[in-house]
Amino acid sequence: MSLIKSLDEIEQIRKANQIIARLYRDVLPQYIKAGISTGEINKIVEDYIRSQGARPACIGVDGMYTPFPAGTCISVNEEVVHGIPGDRILQDGDIVSVDTVTELNGFFGDSAITYAVGEIDEESRRLLEVTEKSREIGIEMAVVGNRIGDIGHAIQSYVEKNGFTVVRDFAGHGVGHSMHEDPIIANFGRKGRGIKIENGMVLAIEPMVNAGSYKINVKEDGWTIVTRDGKRSAHFEHSIAIVDGKPVILSEL
């Protein structure tokens, strides 16, 4: 089942997402450099979100062992998603994914981006390009008349054609009145499967792509997901709404 939103609700969800869009474009690029810690990045994120009248919604989310302790998930290199910010210092050549959720007046925004830290190697550069492009390809499939499975099939086909793999254990989802809503949107699958895409759906499309195997492990903190083979992973996410039969990106300026 999917929650269908009105145009007024979609506008409120867009406002929550626009905070993240500004954060990613106008704020973080000046700080994502060698020498900064992930904990320092998290403070910048939390402070900015609050300055915009919103709440960093990741804080306190229930987990396997403990609630998530920070305002954003920050995952470096082999970390796929849900990295807990802390003392880890970014190094030149790293890649770092930032996944942020905002709540503004009861509506949620959700978006993720992977940054390069200084000069990165060729495989990492391609990993970021392919992951970001796969997100756009998935979004293009989110039209009335298609099914949810068409999104995952398009993402998987493009990623694997380029020599990478999609993570199977985590997926996109509905978003808006809460952080995670139905439907689940896997980044792999078959055409023509799953529920039909309808006007008023608001979806978070978020491929997580690995340079090696798609298999993952969970670290002892119960949150941080890492690639099982230690190779790098990238993550790009947009929240979109289906309006007049087509996808509208809410988390883009």
pLDDT band at 1 (very low <50, low <70, confident <90, very high): low
Distance (Å) of CA 148 to CA 17, 86, 160, 161, 186 = 22, 36, 19, 21, 8
Parallel, antiparallel or unpaired: strands 165-166 and 233-235: unpaired
Q: Give the number of domains in the chain.
A: 1
Q: Give the pLDDT score at 77.
A: 98
pLDDT band at 64 (very low <50, low <70, confident <90, very high): confident
Q: Give the pLDDT score at 63.
A: 86
pLDDT digits (tens, 9 = 90+) for 181-196: 999 999 999 999 999 9
For range 133-142, the mean pLDDT:
98
Q: Is the predicted pLDDT of residue 233 greater than 60, yes or no?
A: yes
Considering the domain boundaries, does residue 111 fall inside one? yes
pLDDT band at 3 (very low <50, low <70, confident <90, very high): confident
Q: Residue 33 CB: number of other CB atoms within 10 A?
A: 12
pLDDT band at 174 (very low <50, low <70, confident <90, very high): very high
pLDDT digits (tens, 9 = 90+) for 101-135: 999 999 999 999 999 999 999 999 999 999 999 99
Q: Give the pLDDT score at 242.
A: 98
Q: Give the pLDDT score at 122.
A: 98
Considering the domain boundaries, does residue 2 fall inside one? no
pLDDT digits (tens, 9 = 90+) for 196-227: 999 999 999 999 999 999 999 999 999 999 99
CATH of residue 185: 3.90.230.10
Considering the domain boundaries, does residue 238 fall inside one? yes
Q: Name the token pair of 53.
A: 């009248």
Q: Give the pLDDT score at 237.
A: 98
Q: Give the pLDDT score at 8.
A: 98
Considering the domain boundaries, does residue 131 fall inside one? yes
pLDDT digits (tens, 9 = 90+) for 12-35: 999 999 999 999 999 999 999 999
Q: Which residue, among 178, 172, 177, 181, has the nearest Cα to 149 in the 3D structure?
A: 172
For range 58-82, the mean pLDDT:
95
Considering the domain boundaries, does residue 133 fall inside one? yes
Predicted TM-score (pTM) above 0.75: yes
What average pLDDT does the chain have?
97
Q: Give the pLDDT score at 65.
A: 84
Considering the domain boundaries, does residue 66 fall inside one? yes
Q: Give the pLDDT score at 2.
A: 64
- Say if CB 17 and CB 203 are below 8 A apart: no
Domain that holds residue 181: 7-249
